[in-house]
């Protein structure tokens, strides 16, 4: 496990995951095929980063956010 920080376009940390187990990037097409309900709920068609921790997967549009790991 590792720590992952979700950062906004200003470089501010918006969320920290202390027990992150996996990080992956999904293209817009992959998101539309696998998780259309996530795109509908968040409202951004973009590439997404998926962080998986003990609570399950969390999705953030790369149009708005970036992720640092450590």
What is the average pLDDT across 3-17? Answer: 95
The model carries a pTM of: 0.86
- The pair of three-digit structure tokens given for residue 69, joined into one six-digit string: 């790991």
Q: How far apart are CA 41 and CA 17, in angstroms?
A: 21
Give residue-wise pLDDT tens across range 20-63. 999 999 999 999 999 999 999 988 889 999 999 999 999 999 98
What is the average pLDDT across 10-14? Answer: 95
Q: How far apart are CA 45 and CA 39, in angstroms?
A: 6
């Amino acid at each position: 496990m590792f720590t992952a920080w979700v950062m906004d376009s200003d470089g501010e940390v918006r969320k920290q995951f202390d027990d992150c187990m996996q990080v992956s990037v999904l293209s817009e097409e992959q998101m539309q095929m696998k998780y259309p309900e996530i795109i509908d709920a968040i409202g951004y068609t973009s590439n997404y980063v998926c962080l998986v921790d003990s609570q399950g997967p969390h999705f953030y549009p790369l149009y708005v956010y970036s992720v640092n790991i450590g």
